[in-house]
Copies of this chain bind each other. A is one copy, B any other.
Amino acid sequence: MSTSASASREAGLSSRELVLRRAIDLASLEGLDRLTIGRLAGDLRLSKSGLFALFGSKERLQLAVIEGARAFYVEHIILPAQRVPSGTRRLLALIERFLLNSEEHWLPGGCFFTPVAHEFDSRPGPIRDAIAALIQEGNDVLAQQIRVAVAKGELRADTDVAELAFELQGLLFAANLHGQLGLPDAFARARSLSRKALRGHAADDGAFARLLAES
């Protein structure tokens, strides 16, 4: 199988999409700084200046990579979870897909956003802003389903939605980091703890146990 630019273009990908795909892989492994135009060009056997012209600047390439990674998360995590009934079950589906994405390296470096968030968290500018918005968006996705679970009577009405979302996201962060560093039981612990955290807010423990059992 050829992996040349022209062969892949024949498969229906524009040059820009093709480059972006490789750039997302590289950035997930080594971060947005070490993603350089020269390395990317070498990988794809394009000239540096040709690749440069596709994006206009390094920063625009980085922003395109962030947007591309967001699209990957929507496609592989958010949308599949929409097929599960909203509320607790969808929450569990979202968490499970986030964890599988890290555990199975759906992108070669594992979770995309946590590392790049840290990479740019002290550097003001459009990249930091874009990443902060996406971390917030990830939190909002969890919070929304917590809210639904409360409305459906699965979780208690006095549940602190924002706090529980923060707690769940913290478990995902810890699983990412421990897993990526090869520390033991990272994903199993995040699975166990996220279920316990939700069950701690269950409106009816018996009904909730049945909900957990089917997920």
Which residues of A (129-149) have their CB < 8 Å from a CB of B?
131-132, 135-136, 139
A48 interface residue per 8 A CB criterion: no
Binds B, one of A30-38, A52-60, A79-87, A151-159: A30-38
A193 interface residue per 8 A CB criterion: yes
Name the residue on B nearest A114 (C-beta): B118
Name the residue on B nearest A169 (C-beta): B174
A72 interface residue per 8 A CB criterion: no
Which residues of A (164-180) have their CB < 8 Å from a CB of B?
166-167, 169-171, 173-175, 177-178, 180
**Are A183 and B122 neighbours in the complex by a CB distance under 8 Å?**
no
Name the residue on B nearest A134 (C-beta): B181
A198 CB to closest chain B CB (Å) equals: 13
A46 interface residue per 8 A CB criterion: no
A16 interface residue per 8 A CB criterion: no
For A119, A136, A163, A167, the residue with the greatest tally of chain B CB atoms inside 10 Å of its CB is: A167
**Are B200 and A135 neighbours in the complex by a CB distance under 8 Å?**
no
Name the residue on B nearest A131 (C-beta): B181
**Are A185 and B162 neighbours in the complex by a CB distance under 8 Å?**
yes
**Are B135 and A181 neighbours in the complex by a CB distance under 8 Å?**
yes
A128 interface residue per 8 A CB criterion: yes
**Are B181 and A132 neighbours in the complex by a CB distance under 8 Å?**
yes
Please pick, from B30, B128, B189, the residue contacting A122 in the complex, using a CB distance under 8 A.
B30
- Measured between beta carbons, the chain B residues less than 8 angstroms from A123 are 30
Q: Which residues of A contact B (CB under 8 A)?
A: 29-31, 33-34, 109-110, 114-115, 117-119, 121-123, 128, 131-132, 135-136, 139, 162-163, 166-167, 169-171, 173-175, 177-178, 180-183, 185-186, 189-190, 192-193, 200
